[in-house]
Amino acid sequence: MLPVVRQQVSALEPTLARVCCYHLGFTDERGEPSGAASGKLTRAALMTAAAQGLGLRPEDVRTPAAALELLHNSTLVHDDIIDADELRRGRPAAWKVFGAELAILAGDALQALSIQLVVDDPGPGRAEISSAFAEATRLVLAGQSREFTVRLGAGAGVAEYERIVEEKTSALLQCALVTPALRAGASDHVLAALRGAGRHLGLAFQIANDVEDIWGDPAVTGKPVRGDIQRRNPSFPVLAGISAAGPVSDRLRELWEADGTSEAHLREMAGLVEESGGRRTAEKTSRGHLDTALEHLGRAELFPAATAELTALFDRIVNRTA
């Protein structure tokens, strides 16, 4: 799949190609070949495993797998700008190297290239797959927009949080699992099971990612810790911590509503989120969604070897296991 991605991106307008190749880890900031990571290729791995579970060959979904990785990376380029994240995969984000203006255009180019790939792909189910990609793109943009509303305050409810995650995160994971089923002409029963698996996998992953943002290891994540609470982005542990009754939650809310961004301020907030039970609740909820995702996966009745591979992938996605 990577050769497809590299070929397509390299054919973009030269300046955009340079920014995109840097973001994808193919080149350094000077355009020279780089040994940087191209990401975990999680969505492509999910799509390939699901395809094998439906009796398809990996090459049957190579083009849509490449397209989905391009779409995913378009969201990462834009997210880094919106969140002012200066690091991506352990090195300066594209917007820090090339400027926000070019990075925005590069993200748009990756998104357009993704849609073009699936529209031009001659394989079975092309119309349905193209529609699925367009819908996933629409949902991601809607979730990104809705997230700004949640940032207005820490009183956002879990239902609103889940809606945003389903749009921003679950939509692409659902697309990864459903695309092979559309290519194989699978039944509505299989499609519904895979959609459910993708929905809950996205929730499990995002909640675990929220925990990792506050207490994770930057060497593993490639980003500094506590970025969400510094930006006052109410992630799941924070929402759970603030909603708990008591003086600890009251103090957490007080600090959250203050303007402090010093290391001591952020460290105290992180401690209060944990003391209030926010971390414990988040970890338990993430595990619950993972279990539900696996239940849906079982209902899809894929070939046993593929189900076993997807089960391991689900766990690795959520828990970052080796």
Cβ distance 201 to 170 under 8 Å? yes
Taking the C-alpha atoms of residue 235 and residue 135, their distance in angstroms, rounded to an integer, is 25
The pair phi, psi for residue 15, each rounded to 5°, is -70, -45
Q: Report the pLDDT value the prediction gives residue 245, as an integer from 0 to 100.
A: 82
Nearest CA among 106, 126, 128 for reference residue 117: 126
Which token pair is 11? 């054919």
Cβ distance 88 to 55 under 8 Å? no
Angle at 94 between CA 110 and CA 119, to 5 degrees: 5
Which token pair is 168? 């921003």
Q: Report the pLDDT value the prediction gives residue 40, as an integer from 0 to 100.
A: 86
Taking the C-alpha atoms of residue 49 and residue 306, their distance in angstroms, rounded to an integer, is 6
The partner residues of 87 in beta bridges, in order of sequence, read: 92
Domain topology for 2-319: Farnesyl Diphosphate Synthase (1.10.600)
Helical segments of 151-262, H only? 158-165, 171-184, 188-215, 218-221, 227-230, 236-243, 247-257
Q: What is the DSSP letter of 272?
A: H
Q: Report the pLDDT value the prediction gives residue 155, as an integer from 0 to 100.
A: 58
Which token pair is 314? 């689900």
Nearest CA among 158, 162, 202, 161 for reference residue 178: 202
User: Would you tell me the crossing angle of helices 62-83 and 126-150 to the nearest 10 degrees?
Assistant: 10
Taking the C-alpha atoms of residue 123 and residue 277, their distance in angstroms, rounded to an integer, is 50
Q: Report the pLDDT value the prediction gives residue 223, as an integer from 0 to 100.
A: 73
Per-domain residue ranges of the chain: 2-319
Taking the C-alpha atoms of residue 170 and residue 203, their distance in angstroms, rounded to an integer, is 7
Report pLDDT digits (tens) over 80-93: 999 898 999 889 99
In this prediction, the residues of the chain whose per-residue pLDDT falls under 50 are 322
Q: Report the pLDDT value the prediction gives residue 219, as an integer from 0 to 100.
A: 75
